[in-house]
Amino acid sequence: MQMNYICIVTLLCLIFLDGTSSYGVPNKETACQRELRIYQQEPNVPGRRIPVCDTLGNYAHKQCSGSQCYCVLKNGTHIPGFSVNNWEAEQQTCYCAREQAEYQATGLIGKMFRCTIDGSYDSIQCTGPYCYCADQHGKQIGESSVHITEMNSLNCIIGKETACQRELRIYQQEPNVPGRRIPVCDSIGNYAHKQCSGSQCYCVLKNGTHIPGFYVNVWEAEQQTCYCAREQAEYEATRLVGKMFRCTNDGSYDSIQCTGSHCYCADQHGKQIGESSVHITKMDSLNC
C-alpha cells in the first residue's frame, strides 16, 4: 500500500514536471523543438537558423547560423561574447560559457571560469589559488596543481600530445636514426630540465629549447640538474632584475647562493640550508 502510494505520486510528479513523459501523456513541445519543427516545414527561409535541440528538448549549448556559431542558454537566449566563425568552431563546446552564465544568474560569486573565446573550457582551470589541467567540462585531469602565479608552467594536454611526448613517440617508432636524441619528458609532458644527445648533456626550457652555455660530457653529467640554468632563464624572461643565480657550469645550483648581500649554503634547488648566512664579501668562509 505504502509502495503503491509512492509509485503513484512519483508517476504524477514525472508527468507534471516533465512534458516528455512517456506515460501516455502527449508530449509538450519545447521552444527548441517548436523552432525545429517550423524550420523543417519551411527550411528555405533565408537567415533562418537550424536550431539544435538536446535530448531533453532544450537548446544545445552551441548554435550556428549563417557563418557564425555562438553559445546559448537552455532557452535559446544568446550569451554575449562567444561568437566565432563556423570554420573555426569545430572544437567549440560552449560548456564554459553556459555554465558561467548560469552560475552568474544564481548571484553567487567566487567560482572562477576560464573560458576560451569560443566559450569552451580552457585547458587550465583554477579553484581558489590553485590551477590544474582540465577536461572539456572543466574538471581536473590528474592530481597535480600549481599556484595561480605559476599557471603558465602547466602544460596541459587536451586530446593531443605535448612537443616532448611527440618527439618521444617518434623516437620510439624509429629509434635507430643516428644523432636522434632520446627526449626525456617530465610527468606533465614538459621537457625535463636536462637532456642528453650523443656525448653531451645540456639544459633546456620546458619547451625543449636549449639554454646556451651549460653543456657537459655525458660522463660528467651525473650530478647535473639544470635547475639553476632553467630557473635563471625563466627569471630573465620575466624581465625582472635583482634575483641572483649562482649556477655551476653544468647548470646546477652552486652550493653557495646569495640573496642581496647575504650568502648561505643551498640545496640542489637553490634553497637555503640551515639559518646561517654571511656577508657576500665573506662568501669564501662558507663551508657548504
Using CB under 6 A as the binding rule, the residues of this chain from 106 to 125 that contact ligand NAG are none
77 touching ligand NAG, by CB under 6 A: yes
Residue 280's SS3 state is helix
Please identify which residue in 14, 15, 52, 73 interacts with ligand NAG, judged by CB under 6 A.
73
d(CA 273, CA 255): 9
For the bound state, the minimum distance from the C-beta of residue 101 to ligand NAG, rounded and expressed in Å, comes to: 8
152 touching ligand NAG, by CB under 6 A: no
207 touching ligand NAG, by CB under 6 A: yes
Please identify which residue in 1, 105, 240, 241 interacts with ligand NAG, judged by CB under 6 A.
105
141 touching ligand NAG, by CB under 6 A: no
For the bound state, the minimum distance from the C-beta of residue 228 to ligand NAG, rounded and expressed in Å, comes to: 17
Using CB under 6 A as the binding rule, the residues of this chain from 221 to 250 that contact ligand NAG are 237
Residue 72's SS3 state is strand
Binding part of the chain for ligand NAG, among 53-61, 73-81, 127-135, 174-182 by CB under 6 A, reads 73-81
Is the separation of the CB atoms in 19 and 30 below 8 Å?
yes
Amino acid code (one letter) for 98: R
In whole angstroms, what separates CA 4 from the centre of its chain? 50
Binding part of the chain for ligand NAG, among 164-172, 202-210, 212-220, 277-285 by CB under 6 A, reads 202-210
Helices (H), the chain: 2-17, 31-41, 95-105, 163-173, 227-237
Cα–Cα distances in angstroms (integers) from residue 30 to residues 56, 71, 93, in the given order:
9, 18, 22
1 touching ligand NAG, by CB under 6 A: no
Positive or negative, the CA dihedral 64, 65, 71, 74 is negative
How is residue 187 written as a grid cell? 610527468
**Measured in Å, how far apart are the chain's first and last C-alpha atoms?**
83
Amino acid code (one letter) for 111: K
Quote helix, strand, coil % in the chain, to nearest 5.
25, 20, 55
205 touching ligand NAG, by CB under 6 A: yes
d(CA 245, CA 229): 9
- The residue (of 164 and 266) whose beta carbon lies closer to ligand NAG is 164
Binding part of the chain for ligand NAG, among 183-191, 204-212, 219-227, 239-247 by CB under 6 A, reads 204-212
For the bound state, the minimum distance from the C-beta of residue 205 to ligand NAG, rounded and expressed in Å, comes to: 5
153 touching ligand NAG, by CB under 6 A: no
75 touching ligand NAG, by CB under 6 A: yes
Q: Point out which residues bind ligand NAG (CB under 6 A).
A: 73, 75, 77, 105, 205, 207, 209, 237
